[in-house]
Amino acid sequence: MLRHRAVISHLRQACSFQSVPSRLCIRACSTNDSLQPQCPRLAFSGDNSSPRGWRVMGTLLGLGAVLAYHDHRCRAAEKSPHIYTREEVRSHSSPETRIWVTLGCEVFDVTEFVDLHPGGASKLMLAAGGPLEPFWALYAVHDQPHVREILAQYKVGELSPEDKAPSTLQTSDPYADDPIRHPALKVNSQRPFNAEPPPELLTENYITPNPIFFTRNHLPVPNLDPETYRLHVVGPPGCQSLFLSLDDLYQFPKHEITVTLQCAGNRRSEMTRFKEVKGLAWNTGAISTACWAGARLCDVLAKAGHQLCETEAHVCFEGLDSDPTGTAYGASIPLARAMDPEAEVLLAYEMNGQPLPRDHGFPVRVVVPGVVGARHVKWLGKVSVEPEESYSHWQRRDYKGFSPSVDWDTVDFDSAPSIQELPVQSAITEPKDGETVQSGEVTIKGYAWSGGGRAVVRVDVSLDGGLTWQVAELDGEEQRPQKAWAWRLWQLQAPVPAGKKELNIVCKAVDDSYNVQPDTVAPIWNLRGVLSNAWHRVHVRVTP
């Protein structure tokens, strides 16, 4: 390029450029049509037959030859990418040999990207030396234009057209057998399916109807045969394991409880508006309440020979949903909670008087009252007692809270405890943000809940952004001390201040330990957007 500039500088002294004054147009190696060359006409100053004129012409011809050769090389590179066989790609499956993957017929060297992968290096390494398609089919969020643009930077060639993909790579859609969902659900992701009910339906009933109960799936929904289903309960040393059918579980005393489930990411979208986080953009609907029925976990563990011990222990749950590598969803809770009859942990097989819907864990799921939804493992396949908590990714590398100062370059997941009980929470479901209300009187509705069985004792509501407050009326079932497993619905009918053209409605809940929600997101922001429980705010307009 420096040589080009020197030649152009010299030419300017002897030439005048018409149409494109004082500029030499060079075609770059690009598919962008805007970079196609313009062809200036040259007119030499002075006598064209002079030696100086011929020297300039020779220089131009030499430069033209160089540029033409460069253009030829670029076109050749565009037309003839390096061709690799699948066997060659398979040989690049470690940092030592470099890490290659394929997508369609293209080959990519992603060695430098592995440690930058948002889902962790280990997830990307599952595809090392092979195709991305099975994993993109499972985590469809990858199939986005900006992700493909990032991947394109690492392209090194293409697969040989003669090298046909083995039949094992002709994977079917893992989500093709997912159940049909209610159209009212607001979908946050299709694959895996995650959706919440609209706020106006969420608190229409104290018990959430099964079809609009919020759905949080991490993997495809398994289609299990209740006749052949067996729950593997690992016994302690010296005892045999249990393999329980549904009929076997029915023989245990049936226990029923009303429990609210809330995702750790409920209201994450509010954190995102403050500062970007990674995770599904849940609004206020990643929470629902149902009446669950099943066998107490403590009864089943006792049947298998387990008992409380003085040393730390955890009950680990493994689901029957899995990714292409066979890795299942897993989680754990402390053994002390699992063995406590008062904690009422269930192996549930009914939801609101019906067999569990497939999206909610049919035929058996765990229900852990007062604990984050991530520990309520669905499609339960295995229960074991271990000296440490589950080694599942979702127990060790997710669902943890961090300081606002921690980012993805400094986060240390081993330094933070796994979320179990959730903080006090409330939200407004009516009116909706941006809605127009009539002057005179406004009706405000919402929900409130706190983790760990702590009862909600009060909900405060403000119409002026928190300057003045009124106490809402609590509805729903009375809550038992230390066993307040379900939410309280609330409402407030309040006069609209005269002359007001808009209202900034705010709510905050207080539980029986006098925990209260923080007023803003800033001090509780974290990189995963979990535990979002700041005052909920709704802005509405008032018509005369």
Instruction: Please report the domains of the chain, with CATH numbers, ordered by start residue.
Output: 83-159 (3.10.120.10), 186-397 (3.90.420.10), 424-542 (2.60.40.650)
Query: Which of 399, 454, 507, 537 does the annotation list as catalytic?
Result: 399
**Beta pairing partners, 462:** 506
- Those residues whose C-beta lies under 8 Å from the C-beta of residue 17, and which sit 6 or more positions away, are 23, 24, 40, 42
pTM: 0.74
User: 266: closest CA among 385, 105, 425?
Assistant: 425
Catalytic residue at 218?
no
User: 224: closest CA among 392, 384, 381?
Assistant: 381
Report the chain's terminal Cα–Cα distance, integer Å: 70
User: 199: closest CA among 190, 208, 191?
Assistant: 208
Catalytic residue at 263?
yes
What torsion, rounded to 10 degrees, do the Cα atoms 417, 420, 426, 429 define?
110
Query: Which of 98, 142, 182, 458 does the annotation list as catalytic?
Result: 142
Q: What is the pLDDT of residues 289-329, one digit of tens each?
A: 999 999 999 999 999 999 998 899 999 999 999 988 889 99
Query: Which of 86, 216, 296, 306 does the annotation list as catalytic?
Result: 216
By the 10 Å C-beta count (0-12 exposed, 13-18 middle, 19+ buried), 542 is classed as middle
User: 274: closest CA among 528, 522, 505, 523?
Assistant: 522
- CA dihedral sign, ordered 23, 27, 31, 36: positive
Q: What is the pLDDT of residues 339-380, one digit of tens each?
A: 999 999 999 999 999 999 999 999 999 999 999 999 999 999
Confidence band for 115, pLDDT divided at 50, 70 and 90: confident
Mean pLDDT for 44-58 is 43
Mean pLDDT rounded to a whole number for the chain:
86
Catalytic residue at 86?
no
Planar angle of CA 268, 379, 264, nearest 5 degrees: 15
Catalytic residue at 117?
yes
Query: Which of 117, 230, 480, 541 does the annotation list as catalytic?
Result: 117
Confidence band for 519, pLDDT divided at 50, 70 and 90: very high
Chain centroid to Cα 271, Å, comes to 14
**Beta pairing partners, 258:** 291
On the question of pLDDT at 242 being above 70, the answer is: yes
Eight-state DSSP code of residue 421? B
